[in-house]
């Protein structure tokens, strides 16, 4: 499941502008709240610093960005949702084009729904999980910033994870898979790459 090559393919402003691949190579889309660490996770997976652009300020990624991995599958970086201070246009865009992407992308194998482990469970993330479920889009929960959980040695941040996992197990008869990651330490990178390679093989 090693990443040997990564190529930036294209930024798209609309779902219908996304690359049309005659080989129909499979793709995985990274979604989650603004600032959750989507672009950082992609960089971590491919072991490059700035293949995907990141920022301390939420709202950095504004387009649908396709990256081709090992010439055989794609990782897709998306704009975040739930950024309260985004200009109105950016907020409407999320529902218009990111939802459009999910509803129309035949080559999508699975979504990676990123959850910030350094904050308590957020309703908007649960809403997003429910929206994916209602639309039959398979996804994996990927907890980000788990290095922060470690750094605070215990209680509070671990509680965030525990609470979220309790919510998941109460909500689903068969909960989606979940993986803990950190883009700072590389935690979960190999697990996530292996998980995606298993999903591609059906």
Interacting partner of 140 out of ligand GTP, Mg ion, none (Cβ under 5 to 8 A depending on kind): none
The nearer residue to ligand GTP, 8 or 172, going by C-beta atoms, is 8
Q: Is 39 in the site for ligand GTP (CB under 6 A)?
A: yes
Interacting partner of 6 out of Mg ion, ligand GTP, none (Cβ under 5 to 8 A depending on kind): none
Strands in 27-32's sheet, in edge-to-edge order, are 6-12, 64-69, 73-77, 27-32, 108-116, 139-144, 178-180
Residue 38 C-beta: closest distance to ligand GTP, Å: 4
Near ligand GTP by CB under 6 A: residue from 59, 100, 133, 176 = 59
* Whole-angstrom distance, CA of residue 178 vs CA of residue 89: 32
Q: Is 147 in the site for ligand GTP (CB under 6 A)?
A: yes
Q: Is 65 in the site for ligand GTP (CB under 6 A)?
A: no
Q: Decide the pairing of beta strands 27-32 and 73-77.
A: parallel
Asked whether 25 and 107 are in contact (CB, 8 A), the reply is: yes
Q: Is 63 in the site for ligand GTP (CB under 6 A)?
A: no
Near ligand GTP by CB under 6 A: residue from 20, 56, 134, 153 = 56
Task: Give how far the C-alpha of residue 127 lies from the chain's centroid of Cα atoms, to the nearest Å.
Answer: 15
Near ligand GTP by CB under 6 A: residue from 18, 45, 61, 111 = 61
Q: Is 60 in the site for Mg ion (CB under 5 A)?
A: yes
Q: Is 26 in the site for ligand GTP (CB under 6 A)?
A: no
Structure tokens at 182: 């950190």
Buried b (16+ CB within 10 A) or exposed e, 3-28: eeebeeeeebeebeebeeeeeebbbb
Q: Decide the pairing of beta strands 27-32 and 64-69.
A: unpaired
The nearer residue to ligand GTP, 85 or 163, going by C-beta atoms, is 85
Provide the H-helix boundaries in the chain.
38-46, 88-93, 99-104, 123-134, 146-151, 155-171, 189-200
Residues that contact ligand GTP, how many (by CB under 6 A)? 24
The nearer residue to ligand GTP, 110 or 182, going by C-beta atoms, is 182
**Interacting residues with ligand GTP (CB under 6 A):** 32, 34-40, 54-56, 58-61, 79-80, 144-145, 147-148, 182-184
Q: Which residues of the chain form contacts with Mg ion (CB under 5 A)?
A: 38-39, 60-61
């Amino acid at each position: 499941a090693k990443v040997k090559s990564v190529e930036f393919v294209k930024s798209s402003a609309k779902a219908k502008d996304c690359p049309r691949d005659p080989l129909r190579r499979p793709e995985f889309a990274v979604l989650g709240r603004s600032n959750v660490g989507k672009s950082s996770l992609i960089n971590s997976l491919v072991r490059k610093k700035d293949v995907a652009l990141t920022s301390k300020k939420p709202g950095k990624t504004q387009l649908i960005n396709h990256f081709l991995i090992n010439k055989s599958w794609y990782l897709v970086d998306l704009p975040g949702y739930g950024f309260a201070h985004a200009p109105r246009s950016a907020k409407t865009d999320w529902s218009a084009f990111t939802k459009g992407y999910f509803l129309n992308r035949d080559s999508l194998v699975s979504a990676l729904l990123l959850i910030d482990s350094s904050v308590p469970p957020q309703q908007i993330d649960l809403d997003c999980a429910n929206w994916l479920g209602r639309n039959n889009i398979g996804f994996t929960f990927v907890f980000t910033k788990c290095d922060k959980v470690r750094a605070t040695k215990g209680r509070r941040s671990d509680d965030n994870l525990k609470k979220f996992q309790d919510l998941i197990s109460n909500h689903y008869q068969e909960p989606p898979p979940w993986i803990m990651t950190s883009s700072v330490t590389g935690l979960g990178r190999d697990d996530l790459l292996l998980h995606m390679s298993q999903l591609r093989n059906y």
